[in-house]
Amino acid sequence: MTAAPGHAGAPLPRDGRATERRPSSPAAAEEMLREAHDFSLVLGGPLFQLLRRAHLSDNALLLVRQRIAVIALLAWLPLLAISALEEHALGGGLAVPFLFDVEVHVRFLVALPLLILSELVVHQRMGPIVRAFLERDLIREPAMPGFAAAIRAACRMRNSVRAELGLLLVVYTVGAFVLSRRYVFLPASTWVAVRSGVDSELTIAGTWYGYVSLPIFQFLLVRWYFRLFIWARFLWQVSRLRPVLVATHPDRVGGLGFLSNAVYAFTLLLVAHGTLAAGQFASRILFVGDTLPDFKVQIAVMVVFLLCLVFGPLLVFAPQLAAAKRIGLMEYGALAERYVRGFEAKWQRGDAPEDERLVGSSDIQSLADLSNSFDVIRNMRIVPVTRDTLLQLAAAALAPMAPLALTMMPLEELLKQLLGLLF
């Protein structure tokens, strides 16, 4: 197979075509595919090993229901039991009893299970994405050792004990600060902290919340940010290998279109963030008197942050895509120039053989095909991101906010407004 003009990162011989270089042996190619098949952002690390020993996970992360039940109940159930014993579950003269704290229930019973379920989805989808670099012939033989090194580096970072201990340290330092700012200095008593004079004191349930429940959630959350960093670093290392991009590829991103679909693996992660934010907004609407429009800036910042989080790693290929587009336009422009001059000389200046007719000639179809190829290059994007993917993931992050619209108008009126937009 010979590569089409417009490849980025591959030297072009004088005939204008990049020669293909495959692994020197089938065994090497098979080993590389095996390493790509075993790639996983989530299948490793101290917590993963701990869950395996506790029989809450296996090598394929299939015991997801058991993990959700145990971890979510460890974070939430003791809070309910202790609050009930302290008579802080339903009232007790508190501004916010435990059972009325919407944010806590959403955090531990909805958002936390989504973070855990996201691991299974990402694990199942990342392997085929990494293998696609090899199966689509984007990585050639000289770059194979670098590609294997990038996979191994990602796995070492994922398995790092120091990294997870560092994340735990961040959780117990920054998390303690957040707890004190949000609950200890509140002007009224809640199930977390009881106000006495000018000071507040953590309840027993609040102590469990601050030192067990909240750190569990925060650790799972920041570990996801760390995994996204590993993913971004892996893609950056792959981009440095100068993958062989085809400017005329119909996906209009040089053959990297599969990366745009890769971000769908993080959909549940975005829904978890949206759910967490919706729980916080709901608590303020119920207990402080805020309205949903008061949070429009926070919602916009959240959506932009999440989109940057999942789409940002793909931007590392922008220089290669820009180079492929530039080279493709130059090479196909020169090819088109030679072809149209020959076409004009043959059919407009009478150089065509007398026995050859324009009607039925393949020259017209070749001219149209060349024009289509040039249009593909001209419309080529320099980032492997589509508008539809952006909109769909933004909608996933915003979906948990939909029930909050009921705080602004009755359900019947809301349905009328929606039907009015549709019909």
Domain ranges of the chain: 26-244, 246-266+292-423
User: Contact at 8 Å (CB) between 249 and 255?
Assistant: yes
117 vs 113: CA distance, rounded Å: 6
Residues β-bridged to residue 200 = 195
How many whole angstroms separate alpha carbon 221 and alpha carbon 324?
Answer: 37
Reduced to 3 states, what is the DSSP secondary structure of residue 3? strand
Q: Which of 212, 217, 187 is nearest to 200 (CA)?
A: 187
DSSP secondary structure letters along 5-65 = TT-SSS---TTS-BPP---SSHHHHHHHHHHHHT--SSS-SHHHHHHHHTTS--TT---HH
Which residue bears the tokens 């501004």?
A: 95
DSSP H or E run through 171: helix 161-179
Residue for token pair 């072809």: 339
- Written as six digits, the tokens of 82 are 């202790």
Distance CA 221, CA 276 (A): 11
Reported residue count of the chain is 423
CA angle at residue 388 from 42 to 379, to 5 degrees?
110
Nearest to 191 by CA among 31, 83, 290: 83
Burial class of residue 394 in the structure, from the number of CB atoms within 10 Å of its CB (0-12 exposed, 13-18 middle, 19+ buried): middle
What is the reported pLDDT for 273?
Answer: 95
Q: Which residues of 292-326 are buried (b: 16+ CB within 10 A; e: fewer)?
A: beebeeebeebbeebbebbbebbbbbeebbebbbb
The tokens for 146 are 């670098």
Tell me the HSE value of 325 on the side-chain side, using a 13 A CA sphere: 20
Q: How far from each other are the two terminal CA atoms of the chain, in whole angstroms?
A: 53
pLDDT in tens, the chain (423 residues): 334 344 444 443 333 334 444 444 565 556 666 677 778 888 888 888 888 888 888 776 678 888 899 998 899 999 999 999 988 888 777 888 899 989 999 999 999 999 999 999 998 888 889 988 988 889 888 888 899 899 999 999 999 999 999 999 989 887 766 666 665 555 678 888 887 766 778 889 988 998 899 999 999 999 999 999 999 999 999 999 989 998 888 888 989 989 988 899 999 999 999 999 999 898 888 887 888 888 999 999 999 999 999 999 999 999 999 999 999 889 888 888 887 888 777 766 666 666 566 655 677 778 787 888 888 888 889 899 888 999 999 999 999 998 887 777 665 665 666 566 555
**What whole-number distance in Å separates Cα of residue 112 and Cα of residue 420?**
36
Amino acid in the structure at residue 169: L
Cα gap 23→165, rounded to integer Å: 39
d(CA 256, CA 144): 18
Count the Cβ atoms, other than its own, within 10 Å of residue 261.
Answer: 15
Task: With H, G, I as helix, E, B as strand and everything else as coil, classify residue 200.
Answer: strand
Cross-strand partners of 195: 200
Residues facing residue 420 across a β-bridge = none
Count the helices and strands in the chain (H runs, E runs): 16, 2
Closest CA relative to residue 225, chosen from 288, 141, 300, 166: 166
Q: Could you give the angle at which helices 161-179 and 46-53 cross, rounded to 10 degrees?
A: 90
Give the integer Cα–Cα distance in Å for 235 and 365.
39
Residue 293 CA to residue 377 CA, distance in Å, equals 43
* Helix, strand, coil tally for the chain in percent (to 5): 70, 5, 25
3-state secondary structure of 194: strand
